[in-house]
Amino acid sequence: MTTRARQSVRRRQVLSREQIIASAIELLDDGGEGALTVRALTERLATGTGAIYYHVGTRDELLDAATETVIAAALAARTDPASPAPEDEIRATALSLFGAIAEHAWLATQLTTQFARRPSGPVTVGIFERIGRQVRALGVPQAAWFSATSTLVHYILGAVSQHVRFERDAHGAPGDVGREKFLGDVAAAWQDLDADAYPFVRAIAGQMREHDDREQFLSGIALILDGIARLR
């Protein structure tokens, strides 16, 4: 066996799939999807491309694996391990997903991709299973399980993705003005609108400026849960 071949074997033995995925997540967190390349990953791990392909596969498979890993960790979070109420479990799962996507900005796009490209994959079915079990536990009629669960899932992912885009735009503004200044500028612009053409937008400008993202997110969950309660 040549020296190069022996080194390749040792690398595959030392590196694990989990280590490769963890490094891929670090690259994604640091620079977004564009930062994740097989070359960048091999440089970070001081290994060859063979080890990457052997343990995980292509770049797309790396993205899938990174997404699955982060979502699996988010779904593993629970409230009271004994017997949480379904509503509490839904809120806890929603907040866990909120936190995961807020922490890993690249995840928002990947979740959309997963739902469209891999509807039978572990990410899609994992989220639906976790939320859907609680919808069933709420006593919702079976005929409404899919619509109720879909409404919750789509709200959670859509609201969090919007939050991530908002945070990115706020910090990407000239001078990196930050969230408070960004919201203040938007609120001021809303209040300057024509009173006859935009009375509602002017009225809520202050609320938009002062809102808390997580509280607003949970308010949306509460509204949906109130609607689901009527299905019973």
Q: Looking only at Cα atoms, what is the longest distance across the chain? A: 82
| CB-side neighbour CA atoms (13 Å) of 198 | 10
Q: Print the SS3 string covering 94-126.
A: HHHHHHHHHHCCCHHHHHHHHHHHCCCCHHHHH
Residue 43 structural domain: 1-57
In a domain, 112, yes or no: yes
Res 1: pLDDT: 46
CATH number (domain holding residue 178)? 1.10.357.10
Res 213: pLDDT: 87
Give the mean model confidence (pLDDT) for residues 4-21: 64
Dihedrals φ, ψ of 176, to 5°?
Answer: 50, 65
Q: Judge if 18 and 94 occupy the same domain.
A: no
In a domain, 156, yes or no: yes
* Overall number of domains in the chain: 2
Give the mean model confidence (pLDDT) for residues 177-192: 88
In a domain, 49, yes or no: yes
Using alpha carbons, select from 112, 55, 44, 47 the residue that is nearest to residue 36: 44
Higher-pLDDT residue of 11, 114? 114
Q: For the chain, give the mean pLDDT.
A: 86
Label residue 170 by pLDDT band (50, 70, 90): low
CATH number (domain holding residue 20)? 1.10.10.60
pTM over 0.85: no
* Long-range Cβ pairs for the range 110-114 (8 Å, 24+): 110/33, 110/63, 110/66, 110/67, 111/67, 111/71, 111/157, 111/161, 112/157, 112/161, 114/64, 114/67
Q: Judge if 44 and 95 occupy the same domain.
A: no
Label residue 3 by pLDDT band (50, 70, 90): very low
Q: Judge if 218 and 172 occupy the same domain.
A: yes
Label residue 226 by pLDDT band (50, 70, 90): very high
pLDDT surpasses 60 at 174: no
pLDDT surpasses 80 at 59: yes
In a domain, 155, yes or no: yes
Label residue 41 by pLDDT band (50, 70, 90): very high
In a domain, 72, yes or no: no
